[in-house]
Amino acid sequence: MLFNTLGFVFVFLPVTLAVFFLLGRVQQTLARAWLAAASFAFYGWWNPRYVVLLAGSIAANYLLAAALTRARANRRHGPARALLGFAVAANLALLGWFKYAAFFVANLNAVAGAGWALPHVVLPLGISFFTFTQIAYLVDLSRGEPIHYPFIDYVLFVTYFPHLIAGPILHHREMMPQFRRDATFRFHADRASVGLTVFAIGLFKKVILADGVSRFVAPVFDTPAVQQLTLPDAWAGALAYTLQLYFDFSAYCDMAVGASTMLGMSIPLNFFSPYQATSIIEFWRRWHMTLSRFLRDYLYFPLGGNRHGTARRYVNLMLTMIIGGLWHGAAWTFVAWGALHGAYLCINHAWRTLRPPMPGAAAPSAAGRVFAQTLTLLAVVVGWVVFRAQDFASARAILMSMAGLRGAATGSVVGFAWPAVSGWIVALMAIALVAPNTQQIMAERRPALAAEPYATQAAAPWLRWSPNMATAVLVGVLFVIAVLNLNQRSPFLYFQF
Amino acid sequence: MTRDARYTLIVLLLAAAVLAPIVVLNYVVGVYVLTNEQLPLLAHRWQQDTRGTVSVSPGAELTFKRLVLRDRLASIDALVLGSSTLATVEARMIGPAAGFYNFSLSNNGSRLIAGDADSAIVEMPLVRRLIVGLDWATAQGVFIEGDASRRDGGLLRDSDARPVSVWDQLADTLTWPRVVQLYGLMKSWWRGEPAVREFRNLADAPAYCPGEGACPPADSCRDFDTSGMLRRHACLGFRRDGSVNGTAYGHFARNEDMKKLMDTYAAFDGYDPMMKARGVPNRLLLASLAASSRRLKAQHGEMVVVLPPMLPHLVEELARRPSTAEYVTRVRAELAQWAAREGIHLIDANASEAFGCGVEDFFDNIHAGPACFEKVLASIRQ
């Protein structure tokens, strides 16, 4: 089930909330069980068969965690390490089969000239998220943290529906205490108002803004005329995709935070105006923040981080980002995108090493900030072209057109009407670059779990949310507009005849 | 009550105040059309008695056409299967067929059309000619994804038709086109226009007749459609042979600004599936149709595949534009090669100008009127 469906908005969410708070008054365990069951239903809505996979993964990991806990309690470190190695390998094998088997066989066929049939595997939704969540838990357990939780809490932690399909990647230390807090199980109007607002903003972003600008993406990236794109065509497509991705992900994060806040629980902040970043390092602290955190804590640090010299640090950075790229999808373009960002990060770190900020130096000027922000955004846009392109040839063609290496023709080979295209891009870019984000607008209530410096940043006072009549009307209107645009087609109404 | 509680209540009440009337009013309109099993039956009986034209709602279209077909199962020897792009094909265009029926349906998909072709050969012993429309400029055309083999079935069999659930109806009430329609209805009501007055009488008079005067000469017409109420008096609907009477639809003018039309329709979203599939039609779909064709041939019949006419010079324009040229050329070539390989009679009418169709014969880019089909199907009549 997706957040932007009528079924979720008008049936699943209200029913889940109502029953959760009702059961919470009777017995908290029942309420937790209900939430876990609802999360399974949420997941199974897409394909009931994969509920078995999710349940199996949870059960197996819970049993492995129990065995790991026993081994550590008995100070049997060798078996504990072996158990952890097996558990991580099993999780990665599951992920590998569903996500990368076809990619692996296709590459093997290409390299070895073998004619093996590609396995027809449907990628289960959210498998990366529930796998990573559980790997982090097992690793922490093996490090000696006394964190073996009751089964129902563990099930809820893995399946908790606001995060299940597209993140954020939850950490047990953030969530488990909330599952046991008395206040979670009581309805609070202040949480309902904040959750509803954040959810409505997210829904509007997704349905109106992200889906609105998406119409300019496929004509550029999927056209057979990719080699003949004009300079404005290529820029329009690249910027439209940059914005589609931004508003889509931002919207999903908002809706996840909103739904969770209504349930009385805070999930980690995952998105914080990344296009306002003034460096690539900062970009990755603002974009998919929980993935960056996971990769840092469970990949970059175990690889050695920056503890073994500069060269090793850059190798570790590259490896982490390449694996992070592959995590996004099974294609070489994702690997290249990861490598590109790895290279960006290496350059950024090298620059900071060469030009460290002077103690007591003045803050960068406005012009300096604009330059840094523009340069960062440009690097990110180039990365998104590689990320979205069908193949390397298409990416190269689009980038060449963007660089003006295919001439400076100003027309459009994909039939763009420039007033509409430029209107959308300018308006959305202005929001992404200048406007405060949902977390800043809602700063007084802090709906998501955030660390500094993002936890306390707030919008200008006149843009800050407060529960008054004008805001209620505005949010109500946004919500209604979004709902009425969820489905642009009626299956029961003629369009032509 | 706290400020937050009041705020939450206002947001929810505002949303409810706007959405609830839309849901209720659209549901009332929709439920009457979609769940009233009597309407298609009444429409069918009336047509049997009068041989006239009936207007039924999109939701009742399948039931209505199936009822007609069932009645004539034993006498049908020529059947049209396709989407709305073949809706204006009439019996007289095919030649001396004793029993002709146009079973084309709005938004019909290629997967269902292939299933229907298979069913028709089994269930209609007299069928000797199947005219199958294959679209590549619609969402449900030859680029459908996944397994399109015949086990997907079709619409001719009762078991394959999914009933319209209450949830489907409720979800439909909030779709943008239904909201726009409701807005039109409300505007009409505000102005005191007759369509709404008639709507108020629906409960008492389920079948509304706009009067013989509204129909083309020698064609009686009756309206069993409530969702299309704003088009009342237009005498739109299905003739006895299943074809659509589109007389009242707006045609393009003979002197239309062709450059503007080309620019408009070169960017049509119906090409999206083609772009995604890079112009390669679904192989299983074609294999399924080829198998049906072979079976029909064994029964001394023939399958004719029609690539429906498109606005004159539009295909030429699409084949010229770099953004579509490769895929348009590929899909047409692939379909032509497939038909030649399987010995299937293919009429590629996409470039309708080659058949003498004019812009004035079209309602839009992919829907041609009868004047064009008469020319396109001339080869069948001979």
Inter-chain CB proximity A491 and B168 less than 8 Å: yes
pLDDT at B296: 93
- Interface check A190 vs B, CB under 8 A: yes
- Cβ–Cβ < 8 Å for A390, A175: no
Give me A416's structure tokens: 């763009």
Cβ contacts (< 8 Å) between A390 and chain B: which residues?
A: none
SS3 (DSSP) at B368: strand
Summarised one tens digit per residue, pLDDT across range A372-422 is: 999 999 999 999 999 999 889 999 999 999 998 887 777 778 878 888 899
Cβ contacts (< 8 Å) between B266 and chain A: which residues?
A: 415
- Cβ–Cβ < 8 Å for B191, B183: no
Inter-chain CB proximity A218 and B172 less than 8 Å: no
Angle ∠(B160,B165,B168) on CA atoms, nearest 5: 105
Angle ∠(A343,A348,A354) on CA atoms, nearest 5: 125
Inter-chain CB proximity B11 and A475 less than 8 Å: yes
pLDDT at B129: 92
Sheet hosting strand B129-133, strand order edge to edge = B100-102, B78-81, B129-133, B302-307, B345-348
What is the average pLDDT across A145-171? 86
What is the average pLDDT across A323-339? 91
**Whole-angstrom distance, CA of residue A238 vs CA of residue A220:** 8
Summarised one tens digit per residue, pLDDT across range A50-92 is: 899 899 999 999 999 888 888 877 777 788 888 889 999 999 9
Q: Where are the beta strands (DSSP E) in A253-345?
A: none
Give me A157's structure tokens: 């932690």
Give me B312's structure tokens: 């004159």
Query: How far is C-alpha B133 from the chain's CA centre?
Result: 11
- Cβ–Cβ < 8 Å for B136, A459: no
A427-436: which pairs have CB atoms within 8 A and are 24 or more residues apart? A428/A209, A428/A213, A428/A243, A428/A246, A428/A247, A429/A239, A429/A243, A431/A209, A432/A243, A432/A246, A432/A247, A432/A273, A432/A275, A432/A276, A433/A275, A433/A276, A433/A373, A433/A377, A436/A273, A436/A460, A436/A463
Element (H, E) at B171: helix B166-173
pLDDT at A333: 92
pLDDT at B38: 79
Task: Place A458 in a pLDDT band, splitting at 50, 70 and 90.
Answer: confident
Q: How far is A312 from chain B (nearest CA, A)?
A: 43
Inter-chain CB proximity B3 and A497 less than 8 Å: no
Beta carbons within 10 angstroms of residue B194's beta carbon: 10
What is the average pLDDT across A31-51? 90
Task: Place A207 in a pLDDT band, splitting at 50, 70 and 90.
Answer: very high
Mark out the alpha helices in A389-468 (DSSP H runs): 392-402, 418-434, 438-441
Interface test with A, best of B4, B84, B180 (most A CBs within 10 A): B4
Question: What percent of chain B is modeled with pLDDT above 90?
Answer: 35
Cβ contacts (< 8 Å) between B161 and chain A: which residues?
A: none
**Cα distances (Å, whole numbers) of residue B210 to B207, B214, B249:** 10, 7, 17
Residues 6+ apart with CB under 8 A from B227: A492, A493, B29, B30, B33, B57, B58, B59, B181
Beta strands B221-223 and B53-55, pairing class: parallel
Task: Return the higher-pLDDT residue of B141 and B219.
Answer: B141
- Interface check A448 vs B, CB under 8 A: no
Cβ contacts (< 8 Å) between A228 and chain B: which residues?
A: 322
Q: How far is A121 from chain B (nearest CA, A)?
A: 13
DSSP letter for each residue of A358-411: PTTPPPPPHHHHHHHHHHHHHHHHHHHHHHHSSSHHHHHHHHHHHTTBTB---S
Cβ contacts (< 8 Å) between A193 and chain B: which residues?
A: 4-5, 7-8, 11
Q: How far is A117 from chain B (nearest CA, A)?
A: 17
**Which of A294-303, B149-158, B189-198 tops mean pLDDT?**
A294-303
Is B149 a residue whose pLDDT tops 70?
Answer: no
- Interface check B58 vs A, CB under 8 A: yes
pLDDT at B343: 94
Cβ contacts (< 8 Å) between A224 and chain B: which residues?
A: 278-279, 322-327
Interface test with A, best of B6, B11, B179, B321 (most A CBs within 10 A): B11
**Whole-angstrom distance, CA of residue A412 vs CA of residue A229:** 7
Give me A378's structure tokens: 């440009």
Summarised one tens digit per residue, pLDDT across range B60-113 is: 788 889 888 888 888 889 999 999 899 999 998 987 767 899 999 888 888 888
pLDDT at B219: 62
pLDDT at B208: 46
SS3 (DSSP) at B27: helix
- Interface check A483 vs B, CB under 8 A: yes
Instruction: Report which of A173, A187, A185 is spatially closest to residue A29, judged by C-alpha positions.
Output: A185
Give me B329's structure tokens: 């050329």
Is B205 a residue whose pLDDT tops 80?
Answer: no
pLDDT at B160: 47
Task: Return the higher-pLDDT residue of B356 and B254.
Answer: B356
- Interface check B339 vs A, CB under 8 A: no
Summarised one tens digit per residue, pLDDT across range B243-263 is: 988 776 778 888 888 888 888
**DSSP classification of residue B250:** P
Is A433 a residue whose pLDDT tops 50?
Answer: yes
Is A354 a residue whose pLDDT tops 70?
Answer: yes
Question: What percent of chain A is modeled with pLDDT above 90?
Answer: 53
- Cβ–Cβ < 8 Å for B33, B227: yes
Is A495 a residue whose pLDDT tops 50?
Answer: no
Burial track A170-183 (b if 16+ CB lie within 10 A, e otherwise) = bbbebbbebbeeee
Tokens 């005849």, residue? A497
Nearest CA in chain B to A390: B276
Inter-chain CB proximity A480 and B87 less than 8 Å: no
**Whole-angstrom distance, CA of residue B216 vs CA of residue B369:** 15
Angle ∠(B236,B238,B241) on CA atoms, nearest 5: 145
**Whole-angstrom distance, CA of residue A185 vs CA of residue A28:** 7
Angle ∠(B261,B267,B269) on CA atoms, nearest 5: 120
Is B223 a residue whose pLDDT tops 80?
Answer: no
Inter-chain CB proximity B322 and A476 less than 8 Å: no
Summarised one tens digit per residue, pLDDT across range A215-268 is: 899 888 888 888 888 899 999 999 999 999 999 999 999 999 999 999 999 999
Residues 6+ apart with CB under 8 A from B373: B86, B88, B89, B90, B93, B309
DSSP letter for each residue of B189-242: HHTT-HHHHHHHTTTT-SSB---GGGSPTT--EEE--STTGGGTTS--EE-TTS
First and final CA of chain A: distance in angstroms?
A: 32
Catalytic residue among A120, A328, A341, A349: A328
Tokens 């049908």, residue? B76
**Whole-angstrom distance, CA of residue A221 vs CA of residue A394:** 7
Catalytic residue status for A328: yes
Residues B47/B50/B52/B58 CA torsion (nearest 10 deg): -20
Nearest CA in chain B to A196: B8
Q: How far is B67 from chain A (nearest CA, A)?
A: 19
Task: Place B206 in a pLDDT band, splitting at 50, 70 and 90.
Answer: very low
Task: Place B207 in a pLDDT band, splitting at 50, 70 and 90.
Answer: very low
> Can you say whether the dihedral through the CA atoms of B160, B164, B166, B171 is positive or negative?
positive
Beta carbons within 10 angstroms of residue A388's beta carbon: 23
A–B: how many Cβ contacts below 8 A?
A: 153
Weakest mean pLDDT among A4-8, B15-19, B103-107, B169-173: B169-173
Q: How far is A329 from chain B (nearest CA, A)?
A: 18
Q: Greatest CA separation found in chain B?
A: 81
Query: pTM of this prediction?
Result: 0.81
A401-405: which pairs have CB atoms within 8 A and are 24 or more residues apart? A401/A229, A401/A230, A401/A231, A401/A233, A401/A234, A402/A231, A402/A234, A402/A235, A402/A238, A404/A231
Task: Return the higher-pLDDT residue of B236 and A269.
Answer: A269
**Whole-angstrom distance, CA of residue A186 vs CA of residue A330:** 43
Q: Which of B10, B275, B323 sits opposite A476 (nearest CB)?
A: B10
Instruction: Report which of A234, A201, A228 is spatially closest to residue A216, judged by C-alpha positions.
Output: A234
pLDDT at B225: 65
Inter-chain CB proximity A496 and B178 less than 8 Å: no
- Interface check A409 vs B, CB under 8 A: no
Average pLDDT score, chain B: 82
